[in-house]
Amino acid sequence: MMKIAIVNHDFSLGGVQRVAIEVAGGLVEVEGYHVSLISFSGDNNFFYEVNEKCRRLVNTRKRKFSENLKLRLAIKCCKEVKISEIYRNQLRGLLSVLKEKAFECVILCQSDLTALAPQIKAKLPQIKVIAWQHNDFETYITNYDYAKLFLGEYIQGLRSIDYLVCLTEHDQKLFKKSNSNTKFIYNPLTIRANFVSELRNNSVIFTGRLETEQKGLDYFIQLAELSPSTWNFRIAGNGSDGEALKKIVRDKSLESKVKFVGTLTGEALLNHYLNGDVFVSTSRWEGFGLVLIEAMRCGLPIVAFDNSGPREILAAGKYGVLIEKFNIEKMYQEVAKLMGDYKLRKIYQEKSLKRVQKFSLDLIIKEWKEII
């Protein structure tokens, strides 16, 4: 069977890492492919459980100190960089692994690895290259933390690959302008649940990285401030803004209402969802939103700001509540309706459970097989 490499910066804690590992396992178990996960950065931390039939490989070359410094300064100063130079050392290591192990297909996660596709195709033309884009098109081209600093190389990478996989129908239309071989494939559900929430816990929940700029946790705290004291707001996750967010909660005297429960996995994560009544996504941008379908699998109603990922998952509001960005007063009105009406929560629970069937691993793996 075909030998496939899925390459990401690392496989530590994160949605992209979790989905990549899940898809790798599915390709092995459902289709019998030989799949390896390659940590491009040289980090040997595999946070999530990896299927025992998948190989775990680590790039033997890391970015040099001078290259790290150059990249950090470029991001800080918003200056254009040449990604093939920044990653020169790591690229050599990746090419060596791909050639030595005789991979037939390589799946590159995210924008900067996509920008390296022309070099991979030039050195190893026999390998099928697929670029897997985990965020929305607009974010890649407008955000300095994504692809704006190396936009020319990124677009060249998109044009050079054999196939492009994105996450929504909206993004498929935009990416097709750079590569006609573009297909949207949903991320698969990564949580197993035998029960659903009873929706009687007086709890609004959030799961994700504690990074305010993207995840909009400043809005989540505002929502808690507006809400009745009989309801609690639980935040699961860790991130660079954790301490700053906790200070905001203290300054607003919301410690009794807003709880930070840290990074959760396994049964603890499942219980986090099952003990919730409403899941709220306050993200300013979201390419997909894996946590939304996790919450839906546990029967939670979803309220989210309207950006590409939630819009796709909720089918433009058919299966949950979409709120105009960033209308926190309107979001509160809709959450308050759910807080005050158990029957309404049950209606949206049924919507969530119906929609989440579209994200089963078996369905997603069949779509991957078509392009592999």
Query: pLDDT, tens digit, for every residue of 88-142?
Result: 889 999 999 999 999 999 999 999 999 999 999 999 999 999 999 999 999 888 8
8 A C-beta contact, residue 302 and residue 321: yes
Query: pLDDT, tens digit, for every residue of 69-101?
Result: 556 655 556 667 888 888 988 999 999 999 999
Angle value at C-alpha 277, between 274 and 279, nearest 5 degrees: 90
pTM score: 0.91
Residues 349, 344: Cα–Cα separation, whole Å: 9
Query: pLDDT, tens digit, for every residue of 181-230?
Result: 999 999 999 998 999 999 999 999 999 999 999 999 999 999 999 999 99
| Torsions phi, psi for 19 (to 5 deg) | -65, -40
Residues 52, 182: Cα–Cα separation, whole Å: 31
Q: In the structure encoding, which two tokens stand for residue 282, read together?
A: 């306050």
Structural domains in the chain, CATH included, are 3-185 (3.40.50.2000), 203-358 (3.40.50.2000)
Grade residue 43 by pLDDT with cuts at 50, 70 and 90. confident
- 361: closest CA among 56, 18, 6? 18
- What is the per-residue pLDDT for 73? 57
DSSP 324-370: -TT-HHHHHHHHHHHHT-HHHHHHHHHHHHHHGGGG-HHHHHHHHHH
